[in-house]
Chains A and B, each alone.
Chain A
Amino acid sequence: MAIIIEHTDPSGHVLRQQRFETTSVSIGRSFSADMILTDPYVDAEHCTVACDTDTSQLRLKDLGAKNGLWWLDNKHHKQRVISERAIASGQTILLGKTYLRIYHHSHAVPQALSIARDDAITGFFGHAGLILVVAVLALGLDILGQYLDHPIGGSWVERGREAFYGLLGLIALSSFWALLGKGLVQHARFRFHLGLSFCVMAVWVVWEFIQPSMMYNLNFTKATADWLNRGLQAVVLGGALYLALSFSTRLSTRVRALLAGLVPLLVLGSGLSTLIETKNRFRPVPPYSHVLVEPTLQWRSPAAWDTLPAAAEKAYKPYDPHADDTDADVSDDTTDESPDPATTAEE
């Protein structure tokens, strides 16, 4: 016959586990108690847990505790124990501010979790080789990008320093996740979070780097590229947040999915709201393509020269007053910023 008592945090994470080879366990701050607690809100002799030898029924008895004795129902609502009551094995009780979970030794424990999937993920992102390769890739592309933007004048040390500042931010972020996880789950690893955040950065740097040539070669319009940008942000950032939450918190799958799901919702939602907001806004600057790609990265054949007049003709859209509300506010003086060319005398 044995009683097992787990000391947990409010979310149910086990802090300490004790096995008592007796049929009755006294709990309190007293040094004569079987299970000694340090919680100042707990009485010296707070309560006892007893187990019936015939029926294995667990019973909880209040020893007149100042702050009372409570058990948590299925909805995690506190219910007061009046003097004494029977409790099921696995029930959580509350005394003072201490949560205890009481088990009979015959209580079946759940099956072991598969270590393979979690280890595969943490092992992949926490792999030193991957972290090194991704860091070098992200740093290298950042430095190369800076060089290509301003090939003459800047020093490589300056470019390297600029790029490294970006990585410093990610190291701080990874430390935050690792520290958060240390208190909540035992297997939170700094290296995993570092690898994960470096991978996110690398995806972004690579995407930025290849975007112009991709837009040219796949013939994307600016609007398509904008939505691709947002889609990539939603997937990569949302996915990374889900993984970070999975390996640094004990939140349920549903809560993690909900929190990570907010990222795509925000990214795509803001894109959509911008689209709706700017749909009828007057734009004095033509929304023409700004993409240019060097000849070596042009892998598709450009359009035929004689198709140009037909393409130009498509740009003429006669004014349709029913499909437009940009003139709703006639007092608005939004104009382009060209200098005032009026040559007329003032009235």
Chain B
Amino acid sequence: MTSPGALWPLWWLLLSFNSTAICAATADGVYSRYAPSLYQIRIMENRSGSRAALGSGFVVSDGKLVATNYHVVSNKVMEPNKYRIEIDLGGKPQVATIVRVDAVHDLALLSLEGTPPLGAALVIARQAPQKGEVLYSLGNPHDIGMTVVVGNYNGLVEHSPVEQIHFSGAINSGMSGGPTVNGDGQVIGVNVATAGNQIGFLVPGHYLQTLIEKAQEPLDKPLLEDMAEQIKAHTTALLDELLAQPWHPEPMGKVSIFAKAVPWVECWGNSEEKKELGTLEVSRGCNSSNQLFLSDKFSSGYVEYEFFYFSAQNWPSASVYRYMARNTANAMPGNQVAKVHAGNYTCSDDWYATPQGGSKRISYCTRPYKQLPGLFDVFYVGVTSDRSHEVAMDHYTLAGVTQEASLRFFARFKEQMLWQ
């Protein structure tokens, strides 16, 4: 199901650069010092030999590795035979390999074995900056050349299931994977996303530090298996956090439901009373505002739950149920998955006698991920069918979860929506 709150539209705006003369002077210094450590990352489609994606990267870890975003190299991870990664070293493109990824925080480390020495490694800052501190974001926006953008540190993004820094500066397409540094040239974060209007997002540097430390040891399993474990740990932690909270009952129509149980879910609601039809519709829904981008047609690490109440006191009972059958027939999972990434849904449907003595049609469907073992998308929809003139529906989608964690969530969720 989709919800307005799930949308975090991206506006690729070419914003005018508006900085002071002092900043410009400092920015120039930062740029000239660190430009030799910056590279453009190109994802090449093997068959056509043309560019499929562009991003930025920078040298880390004693000059041996290049850091970038996972989403820059996601095509290569998901379809390794179709793509290759190239890094332009002074006009000579060199093929790079992926050493490690952090799919949850959107980071990747690349290696260029047997190539000329890379530029000096950038150091990752140990301390978070002060709010308002001037930072310099580096990268190659729209393939127009390496650029420095001045902006400010604005703390961590609130209410996000994945920790990100709010950077007030114009991060643009193509700068993904580039570093954002402080005046001392220490990496504060990695450019990752923008919401337009000078609202940029960075992956905090300490996640990159952790990934670099992990990369000192060779990976003892396939990359996709490692990613599956990261997503598993992430979604299990999200569900654990959700399950650890009290779910306060809130009235909605004639049922009680729960809404915002954790800070990282955004909730919305609506009601519509049509006097001429004698109907009342009330809906509430919450979702984790952030989805993990795993590839162009594959998003995961997502939680949404919704409730819907319908009442038509003057309608025949059959009309109420015919209406609801039509209304609930098009429920969709909230995340996007292409067929290369997941199998088909398997559903278990039946009517159940509820603890309140009524009956409810419950459909529980799951689909397994093909490349990420042990992970599933879970789709649940329940519709009450025990009152003549009113019906309530509850629904949730859990994307990229384990069977164990999702069943624990189900065990609690199914008991929540109750007639008042």
Verify A305–B354 contact, CB threshold 8 A: yes
Known A304-B352, A345-B191; contact A318-B379, beta-carbon cutoff 8 A: no
Known A337-B332, A347-B72; contact A319-B344, beta-carbon cutoff 8 A: no
Chain A residues lying within 8 Å of B322, measured Cβ to Cβ, are: 148-149, 292
Verify A296–B317 contact, CB threshold 8 A: yes
B173 proximal to A (CB < 8 A): yes
A91 proximal to B (CB < 8 A): no
How distant is A77 from chain B, measured CB to nearest CB, in Å? 59
> Which of A283, A295, A307, A342 makes the CB contact (< 8 A) with B388?
A295
The SS class assigned to the A binding surface is: loop
> Which of A292, A302, A335 makes the CB contact (< 8 A) with B336?
A335
How distant is B267 from chain A, measured CB to nearest CB, in Å? 17
Chain B residues lying within 8 Å of A148, measured Cβ to Cβ, are: 316, 318-319, 322
Chain B residues lying within 8 Å of A204, measured Cβ to Cβ, are: none
User: Which stretch, B3-11, B213-221, B233-241, touches the partner chain A?
Assistant: B3-11
How distant is B221 from chain A, measured CB to nearest CB, in Å? 17
User: Which stretch, B15-23, B251-259, B361-369, touches the partner chain A?
Assistant: B361-369
A1 proximal to B (CB < 8 A): no
- Contact residues, A282-329 vs B (CB, 8 A): 282-298, 301-305, 307-309, 311-319, 321, 324, 326-327
Verify B410–A309 contact, CB threshold 8 A: yes
Chain B residues lying within 8 Å of A298, measured Cβ to Cβ, are: 351, 359, 385
> Which of A149, A305, A342 makes the CB contact (< 8 A) with B319?
A149
Count A-B pairs with CB separation below 8 Å. 246
B168 proximal to A (CB < 8 A): no
Q: Quick one: CB contact mask for B309-340 with A, threshold 8 Å, 1 for yes?
A: 00000111111111011001111111111111
Verify A343–B193 contact, CB threshold 8 A: yes
> Which of A305, A324, A342, A346 makes the CB contact (< 8 A) with B291?
A342
> Which of A147, A286, A336, A341 makes the CB contact (< 8 A) with B363?
A286
Q: Bound complex: CA of A343 vs CA of B202, how far in Å?
A: 12
Q: Quick one: CB contact mask for A253-296 with B, threshold 8 Å, 1 for yes?
A: 00000000000000000000000000000111111111111111
How distant is A324 from chain B, measured CB to nearest CB, in Å? 6
A313, closest chain B residue (CB): B407
Highest count of chain A CB atoms <10 Å: which of B54, B191, B293, B351? B351
Q: Bound complex: CA of A150 vs CA of B316, how far in Å?
A: 10
Interface residues on A, range: 35 or more
Q: Bound complex: CA of A162 vs CA of B2, how far in Å?
A: 36
Known A309-B411, A338-B333; contact A293-B338, beta-carbon cutoff 8 A: no
How distant is A294 from chain B, measured CB to nearest CB, in Å? 4
Verify B299–A341 contact, CB threshold 8 A: yes
A54 proximal to B (CB < 8 A): no
Verify A294–B385 contact, CB threshold 8 A: yes
> Which of A295, A311, A318, A346 makes the CB contact (< 8 A) with B348?
A311
Known A286-B345, A286-B379, A293-B385; contact A346-B173, beta-carbon cutoff 8 A: yes
Verify A303–B79 contact, CB threshold 8 A: no
> Which of A212, A301, A335, A336 makes the CB contact (< 8 A) with B353?
A301
Verify B339–A282 contact, CB threshold 8 A: yes
Chain B residues lying within 8 Å of A307, measured Cβ to Cβ, are: 352
A283, closest chain B residue (CB): B344
Interface residues on B, range: 35 or more
> Which of B345, B370, B411 makes the CB contact (< 8 A) with A287?
B345
How distant is B54 from chain A, measured CB to nearest CB, in Å? 5
B349, closest chain A residue (CB): A289
A113 proximal to B (CB < 8 A): no
How distant is B35 from chain A, measured CB to nearest CB, in Å? 20
- Contact residues, A161-213 vs B (CB, 8 A): 212
Q: Bound complex: CA of A345 vs CA of B68, how far in Å?
A: 12
B152 proximal to A (CB < 8 A): no
How distant is B321 from chain A, measured CB to nearest CB, in Å? 4
How distant is A221 from chain B, measured CB to nearest CB, in Å? 8
B347 proximal to A (CB < 8 A): yes
B381 proximal to A (CB < 8 A): yes
Verify B350–A302 contact, CB threshold 8 A: yes
B194 proximal to A (CB < 8 A): yes
Known A289-B363, A343-B193; contact A309-B343, beta-carbon cutoff 8 A: no
B200, closest chain A residue (CB): A345
Chain A residues lying within 8 Å of B82, measured Cβ to Cβ, are: 330
Highest count of chain A CB atoms <10 Å: which of B172, B291, B349, B391? B349
Q: Bound complex: CA of A170 vs CA of B195, how far in Å?
A: 60
> Which of A288, A319, A332, A338 makes the CB contact (< 8 A) with B349?
A288
Chain B residues lying within 8 Å of A347, measured Cβ to Cβ, are: 41, 43, 53-55, 69, 71-72, 173-174, 176-177
Known A317-B346, A338-B335, A346-B12; contact A294-B321, beta-carbon cutoff 8 A: yes
> Which of B293, B340, B363, B373 makes the CB contact (< 8 A) with A332?
B340
Chain B residues lying within 8 Å of A283, measured Cβ to Cβ, are: 344-345
A-B contact sample (9 more), CB < 8 A, given A308-B414, A330-B79: A219-B350, A301-B353, A302-B352, A304-B352, A311-B364, A314-B348, A345-B10, A345-B192, A346-B10
Q: Which B residues lie at the A interface, using CB under 8 A?
A: 2, 6-8, 10, 12, 41, 43, 53-55, 69, 71-72, 79, 82, 106, 171-177, 191-195, 201, 276-278, 290-291, 293, 296-297, 299, 302, 314-322, 324-325, 328-340, 343-355, 359-370, 373, 376, 379, 381, 383, 385-388, 391, 403, 407, 410-411, 414
